[in-house]
């Protein structure tokens, strides 16, 4: 009996210990509870690393006025042509001035006055005048989509001043050249040709200065 009682006591203790252990440990089949999504650290979302600034930039790009963008593109194209033809204008003026000086030497400085360069000089003068007008129109007609800024002394201002002088010089050269040709053989021809020469060099200097202010 004593042994039987001892066995019962031992079995009772083992069953009690097992029951307590099962209460402390969660069941194997019990579902695991996950932490709420908002409690996860932000670093786990890779998109947050580069979304901080891009949304604003994309929004700004999407809000660009298509008409404004078209005007800006057209202005850029016209000003590029304006610059390119500006170099052609400077080269044409140099050539026209050199030929005119050679003809002036022949006509009024004992060169024979055969006027063999007059037609070439006139052709370059007409071509240069067309290029000059094209350059001016491209600069004037280029769209100005942005608000006009306050006046300030900058390279653009000096460029406009020099090209305004050149415009007056080009007009004066045409008038003086025609008048000098019409008075061939008269005393006034020399005076008109000299004035034409002086205005020509002044115009060349103004165009050169206008190009210099923008490109150098």
DSSP per-residue letters across 64-81:
S-HHHHHHHHHHHHHHHH
State residue 144's pLDDT score. 83
- Residue that wins the pLDDT comparison between 147 and 119: 119
Q: For residue range 74-106, list pLDDT tens digits in order.
A: 999 999 999 999 999 999 999 999 999 999 999
| 61, containing H or E segment | helix 54-62
Q: Which of 68, 64, 62 is nearest to 146 (CA)?
A: 68
* Confidence category of residue 124, pLDDT binned at 50, 70, 90: very high
Per domain, the residue ranges of the chain are 68-145+152-215
Could you tell me the CA-to-CA distances from 190 to 47, 126, 170 in Å, in that order? Answer: 82, 22, 20
What value does the mean pLDDT of the chain take? 78
pTM above 0.75, yes or no: no
Reduced to 3 DSSP states, what percent helix, strand and coil does the chain have, rounded to the nearest 5?
75, 0, 25
For range 23-28, the mean pLDDT = 49
Task: Give the CA angle between residues 71, 164, 162 to the nearest 5°.
Answer: 100
* Least confident span in 30-44, 173-187, 191-205: 30-44
């Amino acid at each position: 009996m004593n042994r039987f009682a001892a066995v019962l006591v031992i079995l009772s203790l083992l069953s009690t210990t097992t029951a307590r252990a099962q209460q402390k440990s969660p069941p194997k089949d019990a579902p695991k509870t996950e932490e709420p999504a908002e409690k996860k650290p932000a670093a786990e979302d890779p998109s947050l690393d580069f979304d901080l600034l891009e949304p604003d930039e994309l929004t700004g790009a999407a809000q660009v006025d298509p008409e404004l963008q078209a005007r800006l593109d057209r202005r850029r194209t016209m000003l590029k042509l304006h610059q390119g033809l500006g170099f052609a204008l400077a080269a044409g003026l140099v050539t026209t001035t050199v030929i005119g000086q050679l003809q002036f030497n022949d006509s009024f400085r004992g060169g024979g006055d055969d006027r063999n360069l007059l037609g070439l000089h006139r052709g370059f003068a007409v071509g240069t005048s067309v290029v000059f007008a094209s350059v001016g129109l491209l600069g004037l007609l280029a769209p100005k989509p942005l608000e006009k800024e306050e006046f300030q002394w900058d390279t653009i201002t000096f460029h406009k001043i020099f090209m305004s002088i050149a415009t007056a010089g080009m007009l004066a050269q045409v008038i003086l050249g025609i008048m000098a040709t019409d008075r061939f053989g008269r005393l006034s021809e020399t005076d008109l040709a000299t004035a034409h020469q002086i205005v020509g060099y002044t115009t060349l200097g103004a165009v050169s200065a206008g190009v210099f202010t923008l490109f150098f």
